[in-house]
Amino acid sequence: MKFQGRVASGVGQGAQFLALDWVQRELLRLIGLAPFPGTLNLRVAPEMRDALLAQREQFLRIADPASPDCPGYLKKVTLRAHGRICDSAWLILPEKTLHADILEFIAASPLRATLALNDGDRVEGETE
């Protein structure tokens, strides 16, 4: 599935989430990733987020063992911006969120630097 969005600053919740021991353990176990401590946020149409969430059964599932009824889902993606490509990023899509128009992405390296991004920049992507 193809998508596009604009880079948006977050409030640091992604970094806090990625610092949790169980998250780090699960990301290593499921996808072999030690993520950069932060997420790239893209503002998208709410319908795009809904369409991706509707496909979540095809994604890898990650959940806190202490709270398994609030999972997140992982899907490998390719991101493109400014003539640069990152084919080693992952969409991390929580089941529950306060933001109906934000997608979050993780990678081993800082995605903003990898793709030379600033707030408001357009990013195109595609799930694998």
Task: Name the maximum alpha-carbon separation found in the chain.
Answer: 42
* pLDDT of 112: 96
Using alpha carbons only, what angle is made at residue 49 by residues 44 and 124, rounded to the nearest 5 degrees?
A: 45
Q: Assign residue 103 the CATH number of its domain.
A: 2.40.30.30
Structural domains of the chain, count: 1
pLDDT in tens, 18-62: 888 888 999 999 999 999 988 999 999 999 999 999 999 999 999
State the Cα–Cα distance between residues 62 and 17, nearest whole angstrom: 12
Q: In which domain, by residue range, is 12 found?
A: 2-127
Residue 30, SS3 per DSSP: helix
**SS3 assignment for 87-127:** EEEEEEEECCCCCCCEEEEECCCCHHHHCCCCCCCEEEEEE
